[in-house]
Amino acid sequence: MKHLKPVLLIVILSSNIFFTGCSPFVDNNEIEEIAPVTFWSINPGAGGKLEISTLGPPLVKEHKRLLSLKVDLLKQGGKDFNLKYYRELKSGQLRMVLINEELAKKGIMPIINTLLTDPDISQRLYLVIVKGNFDEYIKNQVKSQPNLDYFLYRMLRHYEKKKQGEMSIINLHQFKKLLYSPFSDPILPVFKAQQTNFIYHGTAIFKDDYLKGIAHGVDDQIFQLVNNDYYLKFLPIPKYSVVLGNIRSKVHKKMNENDSKLSIRIDVNGRIEEYRGAKDIQNSIELEKFNKEIETYLEKQTLDLFKNLQQLQADPFKIGTLTLGPISKPMSEKEWLKHWKTLKVNVDYNIKIHPLTSVHE
Amino acid sequence: MAPFSLFNKTSDINGFYAMLIVNRLQILYFILILPMYLVHPYMILGIVIIGIFSQINLILFSKWFTSNFSGQGYSAFVQLFGERKFRFFVLFGLIPMLLKIIVLTLNYVEAIHQFIFPSMNMLWLVLAILLISFYVSSKGMENTIHFVVIAFLFSFWVILCFIPFFFPPFASLSDLYPLIPTSWSMNSWKSLLFLWSSFSGPEYLICISPWFKRGQTIFKYLTYGNLVSVVEFLISFISSLLFFGSNYLSKTNYPIVTMARYLQSPIIERIDMILLSLHMFHFVFIISFLILSFYGGIRIVFKRVHKQTTRIGFLACCAVIFTSIAVVNQWFWEPGIKDNLWLSLEIWSSSVTFLLVPALLLAAIKLKGRSLE
């Protein structure tokens, strides 16, 4: 009984405040009336506008449709959707942002900043560059695969989690960290959207926030070996009719004293999964030769890739960090870029292949 | 109605509490923003060096605790300074105290406002936190001191959540280079001042010195408290360097909360909300402790030390604190600016009090000792 009075007082006071409309809360999250957005697909529209679209409503047993709008600003899109659609869109569950290649070439800093500063949006948001028309693909597929957005998210997560080296998966925070560091440039995965397919295409190479090029095929594989995951499940080399498998790489990067020459040694360990060539790889001398051939091939490919990067002035391999030391004054970004352009690169592969059959002398 | 007594002493408190209080006072709000003020990797050394300086200051301070004066509270101060002069000092002391309450509450509320309730009026949040603090402090000084255990248990382990950031794939050693300053500017001095003010706080122990057990070596506990703070600052700063990299860190608001946002658990998505809310225990403890000290100070200034504490007086004090926060919030607060005027005022005032209070006390003891001889 002793506490009855104050409790009553508090109840009366607070109900007074709330029922008179002085409620401090204005967010309405009633689940039947909202639609959490799981992805935004952003395309360039006519006249500098953005064309953004998403699939709604996600994960409810209701007919899904593609919602798209032409807007000037990303967040404006969020508002305009609410005016057009009967559910309120909430961005708390945003998991993927797909940016069109053409848009990325013009710089994506404003989009990234908008996403990053919103406390509702997770920093683990996946960023993807799309080649082709993603909206067309979604429109075609949504009838046969209603939960398509969810499957796409699971795919990205699958390849990120154990770092299997099939794809370069980068989330918002990683992208931003690479972007802001003076000694590295960001990368993103590129997917190709066709009428009925959505295919991993390679790694997008950025210079600051501008898309400069795409590493595709063998170049992309080298990306995984030298930088991202240091692992590849399969490395097909059609030129030598061979597929190497379960490849682990160990990369030793070394810069010489006055930062003018870079030597990279890459130790690669793997096994031959498939061979369709004419060589007798059961013979140890032949195998040795074969090994050398693959080494020179990869060395040449890697060197070409490096040359290409130097020309683009992009440094996704974080080579610039090698110039840093615990007691030396760091270079400025400009100085480093000048250096990077003229840097001599020496690549050396050390491949150890385990044949899965017995080898004779 | 039962008599309303806030400053009764029914039992001695252990030196262990001194350790917890010192540590919590030092960590406080600044842990949330510290990394973005330090930015450069060589400030790791700065933390260690300022930690050592703070330790030296604590050695001076512990001399006060071992002197005969510490246990007597008010009468000892009157003996040392004379009544008029002491009241004058207290009047001066009230200003940094009130400033600390205002700046801490508003800054913390701003963080909550940014991350948890962006659409809410900030004054509601201020009111909520203050009401809790008023409740805790109305339980009296002794209970408030005991509350530090809860505050500590609810907040100290948060720093351990950032341990994963010390390992790959987040961490690369190059983010910590260069370890030695290669250029020095005005900003580096500012960072050091900021660090010194983050280590401030132990000087407020003089408000509760009569509660400590007599004849105990409190120095040991002060050292532990300081050491734990150094370690916590180091962990939070190094992990945020590894997480953001120095360049990106300088552009981030509330780096520690942003890092908490990156953590993931299979059950809850917004871990930062939970951690930021847990931090409230810490705040409530500090603010209720400061409110009580403020009320005690007011009583000294108005010559009411020997009278019974009254509800009206305490409530009036609370009202003054709430109004001053509301006024500052309404008219003088510019949200989100890194070189906020109020924050720099707080940095300066707490640095000065931390530097002066131990020195002043020690000088007074020495002078008194000489005049007695």
Read off the pLDDT band of B77 (50, 70, 90).
confident
Most confident of A59-73, B58-72, B184-198, B322-336: B184-198
Residue range B270-284: mean pLDDT, rounded: 88
Q: Which residues contact B164 (CB under 8 A, 6 or more apart)?
A: B170, B263
pLDDT at A58 (0 to 100): 65
Nearest residue in chain A measured CA to CA from B182 = A329
Which residue, B148, B135, B145, is CA-closest to B9? Answer: B145
Nearest residue in chain A measured CA to CA from B125 = A24
* Angle (nearest 5°) at CA B241 between B237 and B246: 120
CA–CA gap between residue A304 and residue A313 (Å, rounded) = 14
Nearest residue in chain B measured CA to CA from A180 = B248
At A99, give phi and psi (nearest 5°): -110, 130
Read off the pLDDT band of B288 (50, 70, 90).
very high
Mean pLDDT over all residues of chain A?
87
Mean pLDDT over all residues of chain B?
87
DSSP label at A36?
E
3-state secondary structure of A193: strand
Q: How many CB atoms lie within 10 A of CB A292?
A: 12
Which chain B residues have a beta carbon less than 8 Å from that of A92? 269
A291-327 confidence digits (pLDDT tens): 999 999 999 999 999 999 999 999 999 888 888 888 8
Percent share of chain B, pLDDT over 70: 96
Q: Which tokens sit at B208?
A: 């509760």
Higher per-residue pLDDT: A11 or B44: B44
Q: Which residues contact B189 (CB under 8 A, 6 or more apart)?
A: none
Work out the burial of residue A161: count CB atoms within 10 Å of its CB; fewer than 13 is exposed, 13-18 middle, 19 or more buried: exposed
Which chain B residues have a beta carbon less than 8 Å from that of A321? 172, 174
Whether pLDDT at A25 is above 60: yes
3-state secondary structure of A27: coil
Q: Which tokens sit at A259?
A: 């930062």
Whether pLDDT at A249 is above 70: yes
Which chain A residues have a beta carbon less than 8 Å from that of B182? 328-330
Residue with tokens 């009719």: A241
Nearest beta carbon to residue A326 from set B121, B177, B258: B177
Which chain A residues have a beta carbon less than 8 Å from that of B251? 180
Residue with tokens 């009230």: B94
Give the distance, in angstroms, between the CA of residue A110 and the centroid of all CA atoms in the same chain: 18
CA–CA gap between residue A269 and residue A248 (Å, rounded) = 5
**Pair A184, A316: CB distance under 8 Å:** yes
Q: Which of A75, A126, A181 to mutate to test the interface with B (most CBs of B within 10 A)?
A: A181
CA–CA gap between residue A291 and residue A271 (Å, rounded) = 11
A230-240 confidence digits (pLDDT tens): 888 889 999 88
What is the nearest CA distance from A5 to chain B, expressed in angstroms?
A: 14
Just give the CATH number of B15-180+187-368. 1.20.1740.10
CA–CA gap between residue A55 and residue A68 (Å, rounded) = 9
What is the nearest CA distance from A263 to chain B, expressed in angstroms?
A: 18
**Pair B132, B151: CB distance under 8 Å:** no
Quick check: A181 and B179 CB within 8 A? no
Read off the pLDDT band of B367 (50, 70, 90).
confident
Quick one: CA torsion of B264, B266, B267, B272, rounded to 10 degrees? 0
What is the nearest CA distance from A17 to chain B, expressed in angstroms?
A: 12
DSSP E strands, chain A = 34-36, 39-44, 50-56, 65-71, 88-90, 96-100, 126-132, 187-193, 198-207, 210-216, 231-237, 242-255, 261-275, 344-354
CA–CA gap between residue B61 and residue A161 (Å, rounded) = 52
Residue range B225-238: mean pLDDT, rounded: 93
Whether pLDDT at A59 is above 70: no
At A316, give phi and psi (nearest 5°): -75, -15
Residue with tokens 């003054």: B320
Nearest beta carbon to residue A321 from set B121, B174, B183: B174
Whether A26 has its CB under 8 Å from any CB of chain B: the answer is yes
Nearest beta carbon to residue B182 from set A26, A177, A329: A329
pLDDT at A213 (0 to 100): 92
**Pair B31, B231: CB distance under 8 Å:** no
Domain ranges of chain B: 15-180+187-368
Percent share of chain B, pLDDT over 90: 31
Q: How many CB atoms lie within 10 A of CB B331?
A: 7
What is the nearest CA distance from B59 to chain A, expressed in angstroms?
A: 33
Nearest beta carbon to residue B179 from set A173, A182, A326: A326
Weakest-pLDDT range from A16-30, A167-181, B282-296, B348-362: A16-30
Q: Which of A171, A327, A333 to mutate to test the interface with B (most CBs of B within 10 A)?
A: A327
**What CATH architecture does domain A217-361 belong to?**
2-Layer Sandwich (3.30)
Which chain B residues have a beta carbon less than 8 Å from that of A180? 244-245, 247-248, 251
What is the nearest CA distance from A177 to chain B, expressed in angstroms?
A: 6
Whether A323 has its CB under 8 Å from any CB of chain B: the answer is no
**Pair A67, A40: CB distance under 8 Å:** no
Which chain B residues have a beta carbon less than 8 Å from that of A122? 261, 269
pLDDT at B43 (0 to 100): 92
pLDDT at B1 (0 to 100): 52
Work out the burial of residue A199: count CB atoms within 10 Å of its CB; fewer than 13 is exposed, 13-18 middle, 19 or more buried: exposed
**Pair B342, B351: CB distance under 8 Å:** no
What H or E segment, with its residue span, contains residue B341?
A: helix B341-372
Quick check: B247 and A24 CB within 8 A? no
Residue range B348-363: mean pLDDT, rounded: 91
At A256, give phi and psi (nearest 5°): -80, 175
Residues of B with CB under 8 A from a CB of A: 114-115, 117-121, 124, 169, 172, 174, 176-180, 182-183, 243-245, 247-248, 251, 258, 261-262, 264, 269, 272
pLDDT at A146 (0 to 100): 80
Residues in chain B: 373
**Pair A339, A259: CB distance under 8 Å:** yes
Cα Rg, chain A, nearest whole Å:
26
Q: Which tokens sit at A39?
A: 């992805």
pLDDT at A344 (0 to 100): 92
Read off the pLDDT band of A156 (50, 70, 90).
very high
Quick check: A328 and B178 CB within 8 A? yes
**Phi/psi zone of residue B150: left (φ > 0), alpha (ψ -120 to 50 degrees), beta?**
alpha
Alpha-carbon distances of B317 from A109, B8, B203, rounded to whole Å:
50, 19, 22
Q: Which tokens sit at B17?
A: 């509490």
β-pairing, A210-216 with A198-207? antiparallel
Quick check: A180 and B120 CB within 8 A? no
Domain ranges of chain A: 29-216, 217-361
What is the nearest CA distance from B258 to chain A, expressed in angstroms?
A: 9
Nearest beta carbon to residue A324 from set B114, B174, B262: B174
Quick check: A173 and B262 CB within 8 A? yes
At A160, give phi and psi (nearest 5°): -80, -40
Quick check: B248 and A181 CB within 8 A? yes
Nearest residue in chain A measured CA to CA from B241 = A177
Name the β-bridge partners of A69: A52
Alpha-carbon distances of A343 from A258, A334, B120, B130, rounded to whole Å:
11, 14, 55, 61
What is the nearest CA distance from B249 to chain A, expressed in angstroms?
A: 9
pLDDT at A324 (0 to 100): 86
Q: How many CB atoms lie within 10 A of CB B182?
A: 12
Q: Which tokens sit at B177?
A: 């280079």
Residue with tokens 């005022």: B345
Q: How many CB atoms lie within 10 A of CB B104?
A: 20
CA–CA gap between residue A241 and residue A274 (Å, rounded) = 8
Work out the burial of residue A6: count CB atoms within 10 Å of its CB; fewer than 13 is exposed, 13-18 middle, 19 or more buried: exposed
Nearest residue in chain B measured CA to CA from A323 = B174
Q: What DSSP string runs through A254-273?
A: EE-TTS-EEEEEEEEEEEEE
Nearest beta carbon to residue A325 from set B177, B245, B251: B177
What is the nearest CA distance from B294 to chain A, expressed in angstroms?
A: 26
Q: Which tokens sit at B360?
A: 């002043």
CA–CA gap between residue A176 and residue A319 (Å, rounded) = 18
Quick check: B262 and A180 CB within 8 A? no
